[in-house]
Amino acid sequence: MSFSRSSAPAPRARASSRAAVAYLLVALVAQGTILHYAIVRGVEPSVVLVAVVWYAIRADVGRAFVYGLIAGVGEDLLAFDAGGAWTFATIAAALFASLPRRRFFEDSVPFFMIVTALATLLRQLVFWTIKKIEGYPAGLGTLHFHQALEQAALNAVLAAIVTFVARWLALRPKRVRR
């Protein structure tokens, strides 16, 4: 965090690569297994997207691109018939989340929630645009738009929960073994 009036970007805390890979693996496993049972109003939350946004907010554009690529390929492998649409959509969301130049609010819960919601909308837009190019019928556009809005709200709430749990885990006292 920088308090100077210079135009140079504020120094930021880098996300640990090992922790980021572990979070992504846990998110991919959860997305492919147990989150199919956590559907609210026909919408499934995306912990993979929350992990991508969390990392992209803290990383530079190049690292966010690679992280989004890995996450998107993982989701495409789990989806079987997406045709690469999740890969491109997740990369777009990661690049969008890494765009803000000043990182003053990167640990802010409202900032994380807003970026997650907007990244969800962008990701759904890119995904359904690619599916339309692949020949998916366009008759369900209104339904997919409403689901995208609901998923944006659901992912924003999930981002807040993830942030609060991470802060609670970081602040709890450590046990000392003797």
Distance from C-alpha of 54 to C-alpha of 57, rounded to nearest angstrom: 6
Report the pLDDT averaged over residues 123-127.
92
Q: What is the CATH number of domain 17-170?
A: 1.10.1760
Distance from C-alpha of 21 to C-alpha of 67, rounded to nearest angstrom: 9
What pLDDT is recorded for position 172?
77
Could you tell me the residue ranges of all domains in the chain? Answer: 17-170
Distance from C-alpha of 82 to C-alpha of 13, rounded to nearest angstrom: 35
- pLDDT band of 83, cuts 50, 70, 90: confident
What pLDDT is recorded for position 67?
92
What's the sign of the alpha-carbon dihedral 38, 153, 105, 67?
positive
